[in-house]
Amino acid sequence: MKCIIVDDEPLAREEMSNLVQEISALEIVGEFSSAIGAMEFLKNNAVDLLFLDIEMPTINGLDFAQSLPTDKLVILTTAYNQYALQGYELDAIDYLLKPIKKERLAKAITKAIAYQKLLTFHEQKNTFEASNDNSILIKSDRKYYKITFDEVKFIEALKDYVVIYTRNNKLITAMNLKTIHQKLNSELFIRVSKSYLINMSFIDSFDSHTIYIDDAEIPIGEIYRNDFFQKYTSGLL
């Protein structure tokens, strides 16, 4: 996977470069101190993944990420955690807080590689085909999968696709989150951000900003927060 590093701080670029060079699956093809330099490079060079700092002069990382084509994967890097939700709503693969730990970077890269493989494999449009009162039929990997609602833990939007996480599987299909939300049981499923639908029965715990399901940490969007709290807590009373 070809990647570039975009950060206006020379020391931060060097530290990231040193970490990335230890991962054989990645090849660094460029390092840039600004989004403008990276934009020019992308016009004539193939890049799969961008490590993108957020606070940069002229064009910040969030604005740059929003302008990228859908085939570019982004891992945001920053010293400030207040940008986390904005990063996820831009469909960033991950959000890393500086100083970046080797183990945390490895987890983000593993996710990026897995998504790239899924997107590469799904060249033909896979779609939602049908539904009934307690199940959906999904076309994925050139096969049809019947999935009951009670086995779906959560659904994540990934650019032009959704990733459906079940008890025993992870399926990707070409549709948007709004479309699949309309087909699901509204008593079980609730949208908690621009990028996530969750099955409330799988929630392990939550706080003001994050829902925890197994080892997944799902951000709660500002405009969805009150609706989630009201609906989930009413089901407990």
| Bigger pLDDT: 234 vs 216 | 216
Supply the pTM of this predicted model: 0.61
Structural tokens at position 1 = 């996977």
Q: What is the pLDDT of residue 127?
A: 52
Q: What is the pLDDT of residue 111?
A: 85
Q: What is the pLDDT of residue 145?
A: 84
Cβ 210 vs Cβ 220: under 8 Å? yes
Q: What is the pLDDT of residue 22?
A: 92
Q: What is the mean pLDDT of residues 3-21?
A: 95
155: Cβ–Cβ under 8 A, 6 or more apart, which residues? 162, 163, 164, 165, 177, 180, 196, 197, 198
Cβ 88 vs Cβ 193: under 8 Å? yes
Query: Please, where in the chain does CATH 3.40.50.2300 lie?
Result: 2-121
Judged against a pLDDT cut of 60, whether residue 124 lies above it is answered with: no
The CATH number assigned to the domain with range 2-121 reads 3.40.50.2300
Render pLDDT for 167-197 as a digit per residue (tens, 0 to 9). Answer: 988 888 888 888 888 888 778 899 999 899 9
Confidence of residue 121 (pLDDT cuts 50, 70, 90): low
Helix, strand or coil for residue 236?
A: helix
Query: Please, where in the chain does CATH 2.40.50.1020 lie?
Result: 128-236
Q: How many CB atoms lie within 10 A of CB 132?
A: 11
Distance in angstroms (rounded) separating the CA atoms of residues 81 and 124: 37
Return the exposure string of 26-59: e unless at least 16 CB atoms fall within 10 Å of the residue's CB, then b: beeebbbbbbeebeebbeeeebbbbbbbbebeee
Q: What is the pLDDT of residue 66?
A: 86
Cβ 175 vs Cβ 182: under 8 Å? no
Confidence of residue 87 (pLDDT cuts 50, 70, 90): low
Distance in angstroms (rounded) separating the CA atoms of residues 50 and 194: 22
Confidence of residue 237 (pLDDT cuts 50, 70, 90): very low
Distance in angstroms (rounded) separating the CA atoms of residues 4 and 162: 26
The CATH number assigned to the domain with range 128-236 reads 2.40.50.1020
Q: Which of 82-96, 133-147, 223-237 has the lowest mean pLDDT?
A: 82-96
Render pLDDT for 35-62 as a digit per residue (tens, 0 to 9). Answer: 999 999 999 999 999 999 998 888 888 8
